[in-house]
Amino acid sequence: MNEEIGSRIASLFFGLFMFFFGLPFTLVPFLMFSDGAIDINYPFESLFMIAFTIPFLMAGLFVQFMALGLIRAGMSGTVDPTSIPRELPPGPDALSITEHPDQSYIGEYLRQPEAINGRDWYKKPAETKRLYYYAQNQGGSAGWSLDDREDAGSRDWFDGGWLPYKGFEIPLGRKQWNVDDGKWVSIEESEPKDAKKWWQ
pLDDT for residue 174:
92
198 located within any domain: no
Q: How far apart are CA 110 and CA 62, in angstroms?
A: 46
pLDDT for residue 83:
61
pLDDT for residue 1:
43
Same domain, 106 and 43: no
Q: How far apart are CA 49 and CA 52, in angstroms?
A: 5
Residue type at position 96:
S
pLDDT for residue 197:
44
Beta strand 184-190 with 173-176 is antiparallel
Same domain, 53 and 108: no
Same domain, 101 and 181: yes
pLDDT for residue 25:
86
199 located within any domain: no
178 located within any domain: yes
pLDDT for residue 199:
39
- Mind listing the pLDDT tens digit for each residue in 83-105? 666 777 888 899 999 999 999 99
Select from 105, 103, 109, 113 the least CA-distant residue to 123.
Answer: 109
pLDDT for residue 78:
58
179 located within any domain: yes
User: Where does a domain end: 23, 52, 77?
Assistant: 77
Whether 98 and 84 have beta carbons less than 8 Å apart is answered as no
User: Where does a domain end: 43, 77, 111?
Assistant: 77
Low-confidence ranges of the chain (pLDDT < 50): 1, 196-200
Q: How far apart are CA 173 and CA 168, in angstroms?
A: 15
Phi, psi at 178, each rounded to 5°: -85, 80
pLDDT for residue 89:
80
Same domain, 99 and 155: yes
Cα three-residue angle 182-183-189, rounded to 5 degrees: 120
Domain that holds residue 41: 3-77
Whether 97 and 106 have beta carbons less than 8 Å apart is answered as yes
Overall number of domains in the chain: 2
